[in-house]
Structure 1
């Protein structure tokens, strides 16, 4: 989408680098990337992406402008209406909106003009358990007081899918509470709950704060369970939480979760999509220096993890040539 101004005035560049703040020259193609709330994880991720792209503008003639938004659902609506070129969306919403299986995107409202380009930051399940609750594996959750998250939240979606893979119902627990996240963490630290799931961009400030506040551990998810969940729901991927992510964690923790997926309109030129993805994949170490959520990403995980819809033709060509798909 060639932009000559900021449209309605809702778009502005994130000041992560001088390159991002520069004005695009007329010969450059300006691509608008819908992200999330200002200062939130999606906005910072989008800003990091645009900053890296704009460092190489003279090479690929692309200029990336990050736009704040209300998050995944609004980003999908903006993309469907062709008001933006690119968007960051949670991997489950990517799948549900493209397939038209979510109520908000059912039938004619599905986002049929969307194509996947890259899988970025991970949102793993961090299953926090009290150290004195004798929970070191999933099977230890039986008979315990566990929060499963409020209906409609990412925490609840992940827990529902985990329970389905385990073939458990809520009767497996002494109590299955449905607290808002902060209330659940308060109850966990107070000893009123034994375990609480957190689903957040990794590294998560909320997980880190909880681990510092009270004596907790992160429970690993069995490999067989991870495989079963990922096979049943294509928008999940296996994720390892590195030992260096959180204080007191001595080994990598196996889990699964969603990814933030970079998607674009299928009408974005193939050459532009190719160059955009190339600039991302070949500069992952530089991106990790801009924002910690890029740490641990590999070219292979960017090409495959959590992508559950067709790839943009330009992105697919790059991945084929790079031997990544």
Structure 2
């Protein structure tokens, strides 16, 4: 009995095998090949305990291409990864974005990153000082000669802490212990009594801060004074910030401090179509994006495309903003939007579509 067999795409004949192999190699090596079309988007985030990782996962869920939110050591590490082409896009504090573009502070050895580009900013990140209630710490000055977790090298929280210390005329030697644990470990260190305080530059509410308050009766305290006044007045990336009352406990008062903004950045070398796709995924479904975390509740188009962006806009992002009428067409793509200029009236995002979420 004769059985009809369908010949596979790569037939076993020697000539067919050679032709098939050549086709596969072409897909790997030639721009526009099948593998390039399926290239995974990698978003550099930070600790799994912070809002950066939530943000990366949220963007991935709005995208159709394969997408991964990658845990990292934080803003400085992410900016290095962008510079070296290790990630597609990454999150970074607005202050560290400024340092990277200018080649100052922790980036003085490598120099200015002329290829760094902005996409948009996200939530505000108040500088948060969490202390054990039994420590007797009531204000920042009380931290002198105390054990403090200042954050791991490369993290945004450490960068902000070092800037505040510099403005105050302090160094890490002013603490009895300057611990460098990452954000996902610091609350337990506080609860175990190994440190008296921890700092975190983060959007709220935050799981790590909530854990410290819940497990060891910790408290958030104000961070102010002359040094903070000078930071806010002299730097374009710091602003006054308030942590709302009652978000961690019914008796938790509003906390006055200062802060930065989270920003999404990429290299100028990153494919403009990929950047356009990422930006469109967020702004075409902005209500859906904002639903992923309470820290996004006050986001507006105006704030996202105007605030905290030192690096010029990426051409893929700029093209999208021009298409929506949010930025004038004659604005040069190498110029960061001028906050003094009025944008066109915001176009309301489309109604959220809860289906078709991308992979994380």
TM-score, normalised on structure 1? 0.67
- Alignment match, 2:115: 113
SS at match of 1:129: strand
- By how many angstroms is 1:119 displaced? 0.9
Change (3 A) 1:39 1:171: closer
- By how many angstroms is 1:214 displaced? 1.2
Matched residues in 2 for 1:269 and 1:184: separation? Answer: 38
Matched, 1:88 2:91: yes
Matched, 1:49 2:66: no
Which runs of structure 2 are paired with 1:178-189 in the superposition (5 Å)? 178=179, 180=181, 185-186=187-188, 188-189=190-191
Matched residues in 2 for 1:190 and 1:75: separation? Answer: 30
Deviates more, 1:124-133 or 1:89-98: 89-98
Flag structure 1 segments of 5+ consecutive residues without an equivalent: 12-31, 55-62
Matched residues in 2 for 1:162 and 1:106: separation? Answer: 23
Whether the 8 Å CA contact 1:35–1:66 is kept in 2: the answer is no
Change (3 A) 1:286 1:187: closer
Whether the 8 Å CA contact 2:53–2:71 is kept in 1: the answer is no
- Alignment match, 2:16: none
SS at match of 2:291: helix
Whether the 8 Å CA contact 1:105–1:111 is kept in 2: the answer is no
- By how many angstroms is 1:179 displaced? 5.0
Change (3 A) 1:76 1:136: closer
SS at match of 1:321: coil
Change (3 A) 1:120 1:164: same
Which runs of structure 2 are paired with 1:4-153 in the superposition (5 Å)? 5-7=34-36, 11=40, 32=41, 34-36=43-45, 41-52=51-62, 66-69=67-70, 71=72, 72=75, 76=79, 79-80=82-83, 86-101=89-104, 102-103=106-107, 106-107=110-111, 111-139=113-141, 141=142, 143=144, 145-149=146-150, 152-153=153-154
- By how many angstroms is 1:169 displaced? 4.8
Flag structure 2 segments of 5+ consecutive residues without an equivalent: 1-30, 328-341, 347-360
Change (3 A) 1:37 1:241: closer
- Alignment match, 1:321: 343
Matched residues in 1 for 2:245 and 2:34: separation? Answer: 45
- Alignment match, 2:218: 216
Change (3 A) 1:279 1:244: farther
